[in-house]
């Protein structure tokens, strides 16, 4: 497994942690597809799953931040927007045959996810926890 979840990644909110686990799973599915030499079409479907689920996850966090008047919403959302644009641009290039899904690409994504979880999400979680979000 390339991106293995462990409790050190937990932000302490089941809602967010569960979605992070799903993101890890999709990244591992992409890695497995690469290792098994799955075709571009199959990898493209998994990449689409990643792009779509990342958008769902970002929306979940942003909705919670709005609902509870999180003071750093704009900065946090900006990080989501940047990653979302990168994912969509990569997907566009992949579909056009201009890019391949590589271990390097997956590691970059994992690094961003770790950094985001350990930074912005770890600051968000206590705030939401105080507001009763679990």
Identify the CATH number of the domain in which residue 89 sits: 1.20.120.50
Task: Return d(Cα 37, Cα 4) in angstroms, integer.
Answer: 21
DSSP character for 12? S
Domain assignment of residue 2, yes or no = no
Please give the tally of structural domains in the chain.
Answer: 1
Q: Is residue 20 part of a domain?
A: yes
Query: By residue range, what is the domain housing residue 62?
Result: 11-130
CA end-to-end distance (rounded Å), the chain: 28
Distance, CA of 57 to CA of 54 (rounded, Å): 5
The predicted-structure confidence for 68-126, as pLDDT tens digits, reads as follows: 999 999 999 999 999 999 999 999 999 999 999 998 999 999 999 999 999 999 999 99
| Any domain includes 1 | no
Task: Determine, yes or no, domain membership for 103.
Answer: yes
- What was the pLDDT predicted at 63? 98
User: 16 in a domain, yes or no?
Assistant: yes
Which residues fall within 8 angstroms of residue 44, CB to CB, at 6 or more apart?
94, 95
Q: What is the 3-class SS of 41-107, one letter each residue?
A: HHHHHHHHHHHHHHHHHHHHHHHHHHHCCCCCHHHHHHHHHHHHHHHHHHHHHHHCCCCCCCHHHHH
pTM of the model: 0.94
Q: Determine the Cα–Cα distance for residues 55 and 85; give it in Å rounded to an integer.
A: 10
Is position 3 within any domain?
A: no
Please report whether residue 85 resides in a domain: yes
Span 50-64, average pLDDT: 97
* Residue 4 falls inside a structural domain: no
Read off the pLDDT band of 49 (50, 70, 90): very high
């Amino acid at each position: 497994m390339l991106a293995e979840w462990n409790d050190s990644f937990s932000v302490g909110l089941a809602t967010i942690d569960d979605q992070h686990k799903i993101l890890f799973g999709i990244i591992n599915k992409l890695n497995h597809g690469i290792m098994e030499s799955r075709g571009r079409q199959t990898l493209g479907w998994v990449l689409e799953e990643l792009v779509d689920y990342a958008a769902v996850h970002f929306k979940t966090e942003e909705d919670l931040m709005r609902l509870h008047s999180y003071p750093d919403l704009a900065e946090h959302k900006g990080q989501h927007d940047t990653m979302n644009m990168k994912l969509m641009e990569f997907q566009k290039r992949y579909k056009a045959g201009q890019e391949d899904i590589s271990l390097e690409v997956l590691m970059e994504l994992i690094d961003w996810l770790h950094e985001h979880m350990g930074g912005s999400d770890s600051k968000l979680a206590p705030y939401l926890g105080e507001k009763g979000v679990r």
